[in-house]
Amino acid sequence: INQSDQPVAREGDAPDLFSKFDPLIKQRADLLASGIEDPFSLVMERVLSPTQAICNGRETILLGTYNYMGMTFDPDVVESGKQALADFGSGTTGSRVLNGTYQGHRECEDALKEFYGMDHAMVFSTGYQANLGIISTIAGKGDYVVLDIDSHASIWDGCALGNAEIVPFKHNDIEAMEKRLKRIPEGAGKLVVLEGVYSMLGDIAPLKEMIAIAKRHGAMVLVDEAHSMGFIGENGRGVAEDQGVMDDVDFIIGTFSKSVGTVGGFCVSNHPKFEIMRLVCRPYVFTASLPPSVVATAATSIRKLMHNADKRAHLWENSRKLHKGLKERGFTLGTDVPQSAIVAVIMPDLERGAAMWEALLTEGLYVNLARPPATPANMTLLRCSLCAEHTSEQVDTILGMFERAGKAIGII
Ligand code: PMP
């Protein structure tokens, strides 16, 4: 592979279409030249449990997965996947609207309807496609999407695909959101898109206030609960449940790639015309459906997540303990108090962030190194995401690792 930032010679004066990546290629080459292990090419050689793996030949505690509820090795989940693989084969080889809807896809949608207490559920092949599909299909040319500036890439891409007018507002700023809504021309279609938990800093949205304002201005509301499902709210339905506003949300988007522990995405809704989406939503129609084993594991996991209050309580304990311990040791965190299962540690710059990431890996701890454009305000973050299967002792071990690495790199 030519990793150099030198232009590749071309016929005539046509530009090398890769030249726009030169600054990134250079930044990456400089970072690796400093001797640091590539943070974006780690391989899990073996996965021992939801919280432990072998990485680079070393036993490593996993603190950078989205396996919040630790369902990936749940015996019932694994067994249902094996059974579906044996009974229905390895894949559907088709779209949901042709040959790709199996019994398991229906059962998965039934589990979602029950989990959220909603009339309709539509399963997509990923959460990315769920946002892409729903947003682009309901908000088209001439419609307005009002969204938080820190929204996930799949939300922005959904707006772009639908060709809607995009109206971003400052992160979690209620007044800024209302101001934007007021400026939208009368009679235009309006969709407000919010997230329950924002995944970079782990902070939650003031959904109650924001949704009340959105409704007052006649907007429909979509909430992405990717990082709260299974954990936040009395029944694990998310931040909208926790803040008592489930009935005012028109669409909830979620994913199977986090608490559910497999892959896939979904939208649930009470909109009476929702089922028409199956015919008009291109990222649903023009792609293959999930394999039978995947929807079987998802359905089993979702049903088990309905009755998981003890695990939810333990995950909150873990989050509080890690947040408190890191703060006491002098780290700068993304939130003053723990608001979710994500605890973000703010690094002074990419170089020290990468060095800290590597020092932690050497200690035997994996966290996510997050950098722009994924992060807000150009921040470099070490994102810790906790699992309900982390023991209290593991959290103590993690804190010791952070302390040693933080002192060695000069962060604390
Ligand atoms: N929405 C949010 C807020 C996310 O963080 C993510 C994934 N990180 C997605 C959607 C997409 O989910 P998936 O992994 O299922 O594509």
CA distances from 49 to 61, 77, 239, 368 (A): 10, 14, 28, 18
**Residue 171: closest CA among 368, 377, 347, 384:** 377
Q: Of 305, 334, 358, which residue sits at a domain end? A: 305
pLDDT of 9 > 80? The answer is: no
From the CA of 127, give the closest atom in ligand 1: 15
The confidence score (pLDDT) of residue 282 equals 97
Alpha helices in 117-216, H assignment, sequence order: 127-138, 153-162, 174-183, 207-216
Using the mean position of ligand 1's atoms as its centre, give its distance from the Cα of residue 262 in Å.
12
Q: With bands split at pLDDT 50, 70 and 90, how would you rate the model's confidence at 5?
A: low
Has residue 12 been placed in a domain?
A: no
Has residue 341 been placed in a domain?
A: yes
Same domain, 259 and 119: yes
How many Cα atoms are found within 13 Å in the side-chain-facing hemisphere of 151? 29
* Mutation choice for ligand 1 from 255, 266, 287, CB with most ligand atoms inside 8 A: 255
pTM score, two decimals?
0.95
Q: With bands split at pLDDT 50, 70 and 90, how would you rate the model's confidence at 27?
A: confident
Q: With bands split at pLDDT 50, 70 and 90, how would you rate the model's confidence at 1?
A: very low
Same domain, 263 and 385: no
Has residue 10 been placed in a domain?
A: no
Average pLDDT, the chain: 95
Q: Which two tokens stand for residue 3?
A: 């990793």
pLDDT of 79 > 90? The answer is: yes
**Residue 61: closest CA among 405, 412, 386:** 386
Using the mean position of ligand 1's atoms as its centre, give its distance from the Cα of residue 275 in Å.
23
Same domain, 270 and 379: no
Same domain, 46 and 110: no
Q: With bands split at pLDDT 50, 70 and 90, how would you rate the model's confidence at 37?
A: confident
Please state, in angstroms and rounded to a whole number, the distance separating the CA atoms of residues 334 and 337: 9
Q: By three-state DSSP, how is residue 139 classified?
A: coil
* Mutation choice for ligand 1 from 123, 126, 128, CB with most ligand atoms inside 8 A: 128
What ipTM was estimated for this complex? 0.99
Same domain, 277 and 377: no
The sheet carrying 220-224 orders its strands as 120-124, 265-269, 251-255, 220-224, 190-195, 144-148, 165-169
The confidence score (pLDDT) of residue 73 equals 98
Nearest Cα residue to atom 1 of ligand 1: 226
The confidence score (pLDDT) of residue 32 equals 86
Q: What percent of the chain has pLDDT over 90?
A: 89
Task: Report cis status (omega within 30 of 0) of the bond before 373.
Answer: yes
pLDDT of 93 > 70? The answer is: yes
Same domain, 56 and 188: no
pLDDT of 206 > 70? The answer is: yes
Give the tens place of pLDDT for each residue, 148-182.
999 999 999 999 999 999 999 999 999 999 999 99
Same domain, 112 and 139: yes
- What CATH number does the domain containing 204 carry? 3.40.640.10
Same domain, 267 and 320: no
Nearest Cα residue to atom 15 of ligand 1: 127
Has residue 6 been placed in a domain?
A: no
CA distances from 402 to 56, 271, 325, 364 (A): 19, 47, 10, 11
| Averaged pLDDT for residues 281-295 | 98
Q: Which residues line ligand 1 (CB under 6 A)?
A: 126-128, 131, 152, 154, 195, 199, 224, 226, 255, 257, 265
Has residue 15 been placed in a domain?
A: no
* Mutation choice for ligand 1 from 156, 257, 266, CB with most ligand atoms inside 8 A: 257
What does the CA dihedral 255, 257, 262, 263 come to, rounded to 10 degrees? 70
Has residue 4 been placed in a domain?
A: no
**Residues spanned by the domain of 60:** 34-69+309-409
| Averaged pLDDT for residues 57-81 | 97
Same domain, 289 and 328: no
Same domain, 92 and 176: yes
Using the mean position of ligand 1's atoms as its centre, give its distance from the Cα of residue 329 in Å.
31
| Averaged pLDDT for residues 136-150 | 97
pLDDT of 44 > 70? The answer is: yes
Using the mean position of ligand 1's atoms as its centre, give its distance from the Cα of residue 223 in Å.
12
* Mutation choice for ligand 1 from 122, 134, 152, CB with most ligand atoms inside 8 A: 152
pLDDT of 300 > 60? The answer is: yes
From the CA of 195, give the closest atom in ligand 1: 3
The confidence score (pLDDT) of residue 22 equals 95
From the CA of 255, give the closest atom in ligand 1: 15
Give the tens place of pLDDT for each residue, 349-391.
999 999 999 999 999 999 999 998 889 889 999 999 999 999 9
Q: Of 260, 276, 305, which residue sits at a domain end? A: 305
- What CATH number does the domain containing 374 carry? 3.90.1150.10
Has residue 263 been placed in a domain?
A: yes
Give the tens place of pLDDT for each residue, 399-408.
999 999 999 9
**Domains identified in the chain, total number:** 2
Nearest Cα residue to atom 12 of ligand 1: 127
Using the mean position of ligand 1's atoms as its centre, give its distance from the Cα of residue 282 in Å.
18
Using the mean position of ligand 1's atoms as its centre, give its distance from the Cα of residue 88 in Å.
27
pLDDT of 3 > 70? The answer is: no
From the CA of 66, give the closest atom in ligand 1: 8
Q: Of 305, 324, 355, which residue sits at a domain end? A: 305
Give the tens place of pLDDT for each residue, 311-351.
999 999 999 999 999 999 999 999 999 999 999 999 999 99
Has residue 28 been placed in a domain?
A: no
Same domain, 265 and 360: no
Same domain, 159 and 224: yes
Using the mean position of ligand 1's atoms as its centre, give its distance from the Cα of residue 370 in Å.
15
Using the mean position of ligand 1's atoms as its centre, give its distance from the Cα of residue 349 in Å.
25
